[in-house]
Each structure stands twice: as structure tokens, then as C-alpha cells.
Structure 1
């Protein structure tokens, strides 16, 4: 784990060194704010760990890894506006500290700065890297649009939901790993399997987040407990509950989904109890395990003995307790 600690320090140091811009201060301070409130730095770590399978000169590529982190935080800044989220990583969201218009504009310039960080890539890699970034960015936006459309629908299938979180969340992990391989000159075959590893565990991580929103300690999780339940958000848990509920359970669930005025604590407690009664927690845990296993199956096909470090890093995240 010494290597991962070293890489994390490199990522943090690079992020702290970046000003992103100077004036107007109100445009750039929100960027520095959201980048400074921490997180696992999962995506830049995946870039560097994938790179480490083939090369060790991490300092030469850390700026591209932190560009991916900036892109991720740009999506969070805008996502929080759309979700009307009050907290991000246990801190007030950008649109709460400043205002919605500032958060939109700061997010916009943040995306521009991401592309700026990529521009000094060697010409042999620049076109492919920007192509991969553009494809990933479009898919993230498509996933977010599907997520919003699902909120206006009474039913969403499991397949539709998995497709949505693949685009909205998982493809960015796949891109991070594929980018690391590209920067290191990895064979196309390995890059394909690295990408697939990222996508599969990314789906697993999002399903884990769905579970954590309901069953984790809110202080540890950094989000409002049961926020998805309060918002009637179409998570994997709710989709399966709608699918499996019948009789009185279905009536109670329907009542909570259609009632406009309610006590938040009471709703969270009632819906959580229904999830437990219907076995939704176990269903979700089983599905999470399936995606993690598929991901590690792809990683096993990567032709590098160093893949064990990447696997250990992912396993440590997977072992995070609900």
C-alpha cells in the first residue's frame, strides 16, 4: 500500500497547487472549494495505477490524472444543482455556499480547464485522449438526462437503471483506467480490459452507494440519510421494491411515493423497513457482488503482474462497510 499512498500524495499535491484562474475570484473560488473538500480521489488514482502497470514515472502524468478529477467534480457541481442537494462530502454544496448561477458558470469553466490540462500531451496521444474524454463526457451527460427522465416515470426496469448508471457513473472509471493505459503505451487489448474492469466495478460502486444512502451512518457517508427515499429517486432498491411488493406492502409503498406532504424521518423509516421486509438489501448486495466479480474477471486478463496492486486498491474500496 506504500505505492498507493505515494500516488495519493502526488494527486493531492497537484490539486493543491492549481489555482485554475484568478479573476473574477467568485468564478474560480468555487472550483478550488469543491476540489479541496476531499474524497477518495478514486478516478485520478485509477489513472495512475493503470499507468503503473507499465511505467513508473508518475510525476510526468499526474496532471492528466487530476484533470480527470476536475472533470468528475465539474459533473458533481452541476449534478448537485439538479438534485437540489444540500451536502457534498459532508460540506455545503457549491450552489448553497454561493448561488445556482455561480455554480453553473464555475462548472462550465471547470470543464474548459480540464481540456487545458490535456493540451500538452504528446501529439501521438493527444487525439486519442481527447476522443476518449469526449466520448466519456457525452455518455455522462446522457446518463444524467436518463436519470432525470426516470424521475417522471412511475416504473423503470432494472435493465434501464443499470444502463443509466453505466453511463452516468461507471464509464468515467472505465475512462480513467483506459487513459492510464494509453498514457503508458499499453497494448489495445489491455486497455480494453482495463476499461471493462472500471465499468463493471463502477456499476458495483453505484449500487453500493444506493445501499449506503439507506443503510449507512449519515455522518460517515457525508450525505443526508435516506435522501434518495425522501426524493423518490429511482434507485436499484426502489425499483426492486416496486417489482416485489404486493398486497399491503405495495399499498404502503405507493402511499409514500404519492404523498406530497410527509414527515421525512417517518418516510425514511417506513420505506427502509419495507426494504428489509422484502429482502431488498440482500438482493442489492448480491447484485453488487456480481458486478465486482465481472470486473475482476476482466482485470485478470490484463497482461501485467502489477495488476495485483490495482486489484488490491479496488478490493479495499469494495470492503467499505455499510
Structure 2
């Protein structure tokens, strides 16, 4: 699932929006349809996996503070580094800083792709604290309310720590938590669970295909019933039916670094290909996606060699010194 999420994310940023960075393809180009059709599922997949991982070792009352400090180290520290690098590259290329020169606001306001980390830095402290204090009883009320928020299109009107995207992710993250905590029940009724999840996924897909037929393009709305059916069904179905491919599992360990740095690589690859007059969208997609994954993997391998870069770039603890 992590590998699929990574491929969807990186390939989308190679394609880009209709008028934003990327190939700027318009409808009815197949890659434009692909990019828009899976807008509902890209980040929900990451959120669902994050919830599943959280559920494997949730904080208790006595471990809440180490949990919060660990999340800050793992998410905020490499996020701050990546935002700084991203702004530096942007200024070097375009001579512009975000937020009309008030660049420090990029660290705490909705900024480029980094909104995902900002949202997680809101969700995990709240979820961890409430989960520990209620001993898990908060899960179902929070899950029902958050799924309702997606279906009804509710959101917060604030870009502080990307709060306006909380409802986009919270329901799927809690769905991942619920999956792990009730995995035995789901496995005992596997056929029914797969049928329901796949039906939701297909219903969401069918609605979106109907929208595309009527409007000429898929829906890009992330907060509605169609999005909930499509993304929620896709997450649960994938968790139930996808095999665990051990030869591919290594990629999961690099997913955060790929997320943080792939857009610099895909942008650089596009500019280089355009400079040498290669306009083939297929070449751009394949090369940009491959480099957008492999170069961040290389960055993580290199950064893991030194204690300071392990912390600043990867958010990992220092390795114990050999005696």
C-alpha cells in the first residue's frame, strides 16, 4: 500500500495540474484523467497506513510524552529541513519567497506539499492524548464524526498548520486504526468485508465516471460522499486483498523522504528534459517517476551515515556508539 501511495503521488507531481507545475496536460489526455481520477485516494492511502502503524503501538498514559516527542522528531524536524531546502531552491530558480516574502510562515501555514506533515502534527497529539486518556474509547465516536465530515464536506476555515485539510485525512487515518484494532473480526468475516469495501470503491468510481461523462473531467472534490466511498473502499480493500511483497517492502522505509523531496527531483527532471527538447509525456512520466523515487532513496541512504543528518533530514535517533 505504501508503494502504491508513493507511485500515485510521485507520478501525479510529474503530471502536475492543468495550469500548475508539471506537464500541464489538459483533458481528455489519458494522463490528465489518471491524475484527476485518483485525487481522492493518494493522500488518504498515506493517512490510512499512518493510522494502521499508529494502532500497532499506540501511546498509553505513561508513554504519551515520549510518543509526542517522537512524533515531533520524526515529522517536524525533517519537515522543517525540507521546507527550508524547498524555499532555497525556489528562490534560487525563480527569485521568489512564499507568503510575499514572509517566508517563516511556510513553517506553520499551509504550504505546498508539506501540508500533510502539518496536519499530522495536529492529529497525532490530539489522537494520542484522547486515545490514551479514554483507553481507546474515543475511536468510534471520532471515526463516525470524521467520516461524516468527509461525506458532508465539512472543513476548518484556517490554513494554520493546514487545519483546512484536517477533515480530508482524519477519517482515513482513524479507519486505519479501526482496521488494525478489529483485524481479527475482519479476517473472520473476510468475504463480507471485501465485498462491502470493494462495493464502496466501485460505487465511488462509478459516480466519478458519471461525473466525467457529464462534465468532461473527473471530480476533483475531496470532501463528498463520492470521495469517501472511493478512497475508503480503496484503502480497506487494498489492506484486505493485496499481498505482502517482501521484495518491495523496503520502499516503505523511504516513504517519508520520498514524500518530502520527490517534487524537487520531478521538477528538475522536467526542466532538464524540456531543455534538451524531449516533450514525450511518456518519457517524462517514466523518467520523472523513477528519479522522483530513486534519488530520495539515495538521499536517505547518504543522510543515514551521519548523526546530524539522521536527525535533521530523516528525523531519526542517533545510532548508539560502538564501544
**Could you say whether these structures have the same fold, taking a TM-score greater than 0.5 normalized by the shorter chain as the test?**
no
- The alignment's TM-score, normalised by the length of structure 1, stands at 0.27
Structure number with the bigger relative contact order (C-alpha 8 A, sep ≥ 6) is 2
